[in-house]
Structure 1
Amino acid sequence: MDSPDVRDQWAERSGEYSPDYYAHYGPDETSEAIREALDGLASDAPVLELGCSSGRHLAHLREHGFETLHGVDINADAFDVMEDAYPGLADDGTFYVEAIEDLVERFDDDHFAAVYSAETLQHVHPDATDVFEELARIASDRIVTVENEGDHRDDDPDVNYVRDELPLFYRDWREIFEAFGFEQVETRPTKRDTLRVFRASER
């Protein structure tokens, strides 16, 4: 499966892992972990979520005082669902319907105080990994990843398939973002992923 095929699968997603699916469950422990990872940022600091779907994590941030929220998702249905599930977020936030790698190259350096991803970067195709350097370029203070990283056994595959259809790529996020001038300052397990917090260092 190549990169356009992966993007098409998410753009047309319905049922399990769709915007409706995540809106039904609402904010969760991961939402709170992301909020904690962003402690210390000003209330008006611009924050970007990658693969925001219908906005449950952003809605949690908004409830806790964050005012300048942005989200990108390739599935246009996500924002229709957001209008019903989180109308205040839909009105106040800034949202983009496109692939992450197409969007981020248009932002200036340090455009966002923080960029975060919850189970989204793990689906970026190997052909599109230049986007990781772009994320480091546009984040002035913090990058947060909450991703499935596999168990790192020698025989663990580099890619797994969710429900035999959606590719999930295992990556070393510390190695990736420290190569682009960020320092890992926190790591801990979540219910099924690993949360990592990176802070900008000398670049």
Structure 2
Amino acid sequence: MDAEEVRTEWIERSGEYSPDYYAYYGADEVSEAIRERIEERVGSDASVLELGCSSGRHLAHLHDAGFRDLWGVEINETAGDVMREEYPDLAADGSFRFEPIEDVVGGFDDDRFDAVFSVETLQHIHPDDDWVFTEVARIADELVLTAEIEADEDVTYVRESFPLYHRDWRATFTDLGLEEIESAEVGRDTVRAFRSTE
């Protein structure tokens, strides 16, 4: 699959791994791991951006914990409708862009967000779009969190239909000038925390 085909797969996604699917499951142990690390490192007054927020289950968990400056980027436009139904307070209080990450991140100012995180989203960025990670490091003032499935293979396929591009996330972000300050296994994900060294 090329980069455009990967994006189209997620734009049109319904059923399994769709915004409805994730709203049904709600917050989980990864949501809590993200909340704990953001609260500890930058506090609940922080401006926080989730890349690939879907219908907002992780951001809703932050909202319930008192965070208010919450932003999300999500490729699937139906996620906004699901969010308004399932997480109406988040939908009313947060700021959201329903476009591909690749079309949005370059428009944010340097150090725009205190924290930027993703949960099983950056692993869907096609290798042709690796420049996105430079933008993630640029717009995060203090903290970058990744919760991604890590594997030895370069690429694996979910249900034999769409790819997961496995990367060495530690190397990806330390090569961009960030320092890894923590890593932990949380369910099937490896949660990694990086901070700016500037």
Answering whether residue 85 of structure 2 is matched by residue 89 of structure 1, we say no
Q: Which aligned segments of 4 or more residues in structure 1 are displaced greater than 4 angstroms? A: none
Measured in 2, the distance between the counterparts of 1:125 and 1:164 equals 16
Q: Are 1:15 and 2:15 an aligned pair?
A: yes
Task: Tell me the alpha carbon deviations over residues 137-180 of structure 1, each in whole angstroms, 9 at most, x when there is no partner.
Answer: 00000000000111x3xxxx310010011100110011111111
- The alpha carbon displacement at 1:40 in A equals 3.4
What is the one-letter code of the residue matched to 2:43?
A: A
Partner of 2:186: 190
Name the CA distance, whole Å, in 1 between partners of 2:101 and 2:94: 17
1:166 aligns with 2:162: yes
Say yes or no: does 1:29 pair with 2:25.
Answer: no
Residue equivalent to 2:145 = 144
Residue pairs, 1:24-63, within 5 angstroms: 24-38=24-38, 39-63=40-64
The DSSP-based 3-state class of the residue aligned with 1:145 is: strand
SS in 2 for 1:109: coil
Deviations 1:1-39 (A, max 9, x none): 000100000000000000000000110111000001112
Identity %, equivalent residues: 59
Correspondence for 1:5: 5
Q: Secondary structure at the match of 2:192?
A: strand
3-state SS of paired residue (1:23):
helix
Unaligned runs of 5+ in 1: none
Larger deviation: 31-40 or 107-116?
31-40
Distance 1:42 1:144 in 2: 14
SS at match of 1:184: strand
CA distance, structure 2, for counterparts of residue 189 and residue 57 of structure 1: 17
Paired with 2:47 and 2:2, the residues of 1 have a C-alpha distance of: 32
How is 1:66-85 mapped onto 2 (pairs within 5 angstroms)? 66-85=67-86
Please tell me the residue identity of whatever aligns with 2:23: A
Give RMSD over aligned pairs.
0.8
Q: Distance in 1 between matches of 2:162 and 2:37?
A: 28
TM-score by length of 2: 0.98
TM-score, normalised to structure 1's length? 0.95
